[in-house]
Amino acid sequence: MTTNTATTEKTGARTDEAATLIGGARERIDALDDRIIGLIQERMAVSAVIQEARISSGGRRVNLTREMEVLGHYRDALGKPGTALAMTMLELCRGRI
């Protein structure tokens, strides 16, 4: 089976069958990434509501105890890299109120 050179370069596959499989899987990953980004944006909006309520009631913008709970949840579910992911998400969600 001959492989299309452009397909090989784009996917790294050595056969057309593998290139087709990779192409379809990448489309699914792209769709999942779009959903993940949308969910993070939704989380950022909800977090902004919480922060605004906390600040307007005289509290601090960030609740470190809650952030530690979130970090633990991600670490338990995803291992050590989950902690880094949660830190990035928390940083995004702290916003600039």
pLDDT mean across residues, the chain: 92
Predicted confidence at residue 65, as pLDDT, reads: 96
Mean pLDDT, range 85-95, rounded to an integer: 94
DSSP secondary structure of 18-75? HHHHHHHHHHHHHHHHHHHHHHHHHHHHHHHHHHHHHHHTT--S--HHHHHHHHHHHH
Q: What is the DSSP letter of 94?
A: H
* Rounded Cα–Cα distance for residues 97 and 81 (Å): 28
**Confidence grade of residue 97 (pLDDT, cut at 50, 70, 90):** very low
Q: Are 25 and 73 in contact (CB under 8 A)?
A: no
User: pTM higher than 0.85 for the full model?
Assistant: no
- In this structure, what token pair is assigned to residue 6? 């452009």
Q: Write out pLDDT tens, residues 26-81.
A: 999 999 999 999 999 999 999 999 999 999 999 998 999 999 999 999 999 999 99
Give residue 24's Cα distance to chain centre.
21
What does the pLDDT look like over 2-13, one tens digit per residue?
556 666 778 999
